[in-house]
Amino acid sequence: MSSSPLVSVEGVGKVYHLYQSPRDRLRQLLAVGGRRFYKEHWALRDVSFDIAPGEAFGIIGRNGAGKSTLLQVMAGVLQPTLGRVETPGRVAALLELGSGFKPDFTGRQNVFVNAAVLGVPRRVAQERLDDILAFADIGAHIDQPVRTYSSGMFLRLAFAVTICLEPELLIVDEALAVGDVFFRQRCYARLRQLMDKGVAVVLVSHAMNDVAQFCSRALYLERGGVKFLGPAMDAVKIYMLGPGSACPAPSGLDAELPAPEPFGEDAPWPAPEAFLDLSAAGRAESGFAVCEAVALTDCSGRPCRAFEQGATARFCVEYHVREPLEVPVAGVEIVSEQGVIVFGKNTLQYDCRVPESVPAGSRLRFIYEVKLDLGIGEYAFGVGLTAMTREDFARRAEMTHPELDSRNAVLSALSNAGSFSVVFRTTDTAPVQLTHHGAANLPGNASTAFLPPRDQDPNPHCESA
């Protein structure tokens, strides 16, 4: 990416005047002496960041955080009250599905309307029409009024027009959530092609995995201000902590209960030299618990950073609990060089034994053994700790995943806690050295059948009597 930014946002603020009634609005027009008949609402306050050419930049935040206002300022739809915004000449924004489309115009006509809005001459739009129609893939519907389109068809056409006209800055706000998996794959593939040409992409989404895996950096907005600006994976971890994150703590009755008996003290624990330096890890913690140690070893407990394909890695993690909590849930995730989470599993999914109350001052140790049936390459890994109530833990199998996930309070999340490589096997390479193609090996088997041609003698070597 170029060293000079393509987009520069400096100290941007946007204020709205809120009136209780139309009468107050009229009074304000006639007011003298600086009287105010409105309340100020700062949708954005002191927001600053740069975006480089070819960068994928995420913007996240909860509803009302100021994301839409910021996007409209970047797209030139709104003018900031304070600050400065510099953007390139060709900015395309998918801020709302089908925005800018004329309902009674056909899809083909709307291609030229949108091109004109983007400042693209009709001649250029005509040259790229075939590419647009091929990417949209809506067939004969292209010559029908767009008011007859489904939401998916809207998305296909709007996205196709936007990316095929190749802006310098592309802003996408939740639009990709509408398409099916095949269309989303095509969209992300095309976005990467545009980024290779220097196009900057701003992605706004509530799908945290999309932001973490596609974007290199992200801005986390909270109440119009910058909560975090940095690596996308770290931004997502901090977002998951939530505003004023709270932890399910034991009820008052728990004070009368004896402290839980320790267990797992005889579990193999690595030597000091196996533990990693966590100073460069992305850390997001609520203060209820702190990750103090992470080690990566082979299955014999020896420090290891390179594993043969199919070998077993052992991840050892220790947390110091600062506030009492109920049932801890801890996990590990493995991320590829491309930022794709290829594996993630926690103690709920392993169904392993955990304490049902943890007093302040306790230490929690977790050991994960993972068979690295992964593709050859470099990987990073992260660890995390959440907590839930004993009641929810007791009925965990009855809950849907979204319900169970919403009842876990994030206490600690470390991204890029360490890294390792998966290499070709040098021993026991039967039947062949490479165990599989692709990111991960999946359980299964294969069988074959041979059927000779129908007109061929099944016993060609037998002589007739």
Q: Give the pLDDT of residue 255.
A: 45
In a domain, 441, yes or no: no
CB 103 within 8 A of CB 26: no
pTM: 0.73
The answer, yes or no, to whether residue 151 has pLDDT greater than 90, is: no
Q: Give the pLDDT of residue 76.
A: 87
In a domain, 208, yes or no: yes
Asked whether residue 273 falls in the same domain as residue 395, the answer is yes
Residues 73-93: what's their mean pLDDT?
89
Nearest to 111 by CA among 143, 139, 80, 88: 143
| pLDDT tens column, 208-223 | 888 888 899 999 999 9
Please tell me the distance from the alpha carbon of residue 130 to that of residue 160, in angstroms, as a whole number. 11
Asked whether residue 385 falls in the same domain as residue 355, the answer is yes
Q: How many domains does the chain have?
A: 2
Buried b (16+ CB within 10 A) or exposed e, 285-314: bbebbbbebbbbbbeeeeebeebbbebebb
For the beta carbon of residue 80, count every other beta carbon within 10 angstroms: 21
Asked whether residue 177 falls in the same domain as residue 302, the answer is no
Q: How far is CA 150 from each of CA 107, 138, 140, 156, rounded to the nearest angstrom?
A: 12, 11, 14, 10
Its domain, for residue 299, covers: 244-252+268-423
CB 421 within 8 A of CB 378: yes
For Cα atoms 452, 454, 456, give the angle at the middle one, nearest 5 degrees. Answer: 70
Asked whether residue 77 falls in the same domain as residue 224, the answer is yes
Residues 6+ apart with CB under 8 A from 114: 100, 101, 158, 161, 162, 165
Residues 230-237: what's their mean pLDDT?
88
| Both structure tokens of 286 | 């609520």
Asked whether residue 230 falls in the same domain as residue 248, the answer is no
CB 324 within 8 A of CB 249: yes
| pLDDT tens column, 428-450 | 888 899 998 888 898 888 988 88
Asked whether residue 200 falls in the same domain as residue 66, the answer is yes
Q: How many residues does the chain have?
A: 465
The answer, yes or no, to whether residue 464 has pLDDT greater than 60, is: no
Please tell me the distance from the alpha carbon of residue 416 to that of residue 152, in angstroms, as a whole number. 37
Sheet of 39-51, strand order = 39-51, 7-18, 82-86
Q: Which residues pair with 39 in a beta bridge?
A: 18
| Both structure tokens of 441 | 């090996």
Q: Give the pLDDT of residue 116.
A: 82
| pLDDT tens column, 302-348 | 999 999 999 999 999 999 999 999 999 999 999 988 788 899 999 99
| pLDDT tens column, 257-275 | 456 677 777 778 999 999 9
Match 């002589």 to its residue by tokens: 463
CB 163 within 8 A of CB 194: yes
Asked whether residue 416 falls in the same domain as residue 385, the answer is yes
Rounded CA Rg of the chain: 28
CB 308 within 8 A of CB 423: yes
Asked whether residue 72 falls in the same domain as residue 220, the answer is yes
In a domain, 428, yes or no: no
Q: Which residue has the higher pLDDT, 17 or 373?
A: 373
How high is the mean pLDDT of the chain? 86
Per mean pLDDT, which range of 9-18, 187-196, 243-252 is the poorest?
Answer: 243-252
Residues 35-57: what's their mean pLDDT?
91
Nearest to 239 by CA among 213, 281, 214, 206: 206
Q: Which residue has the higher pLDDT, 210 or 16?
A: 16
| Strand, coil or helix: 183 | helix
In a domain, 440, yes or no: no
Q: Give the pLDDT of residue 252.
A: 46
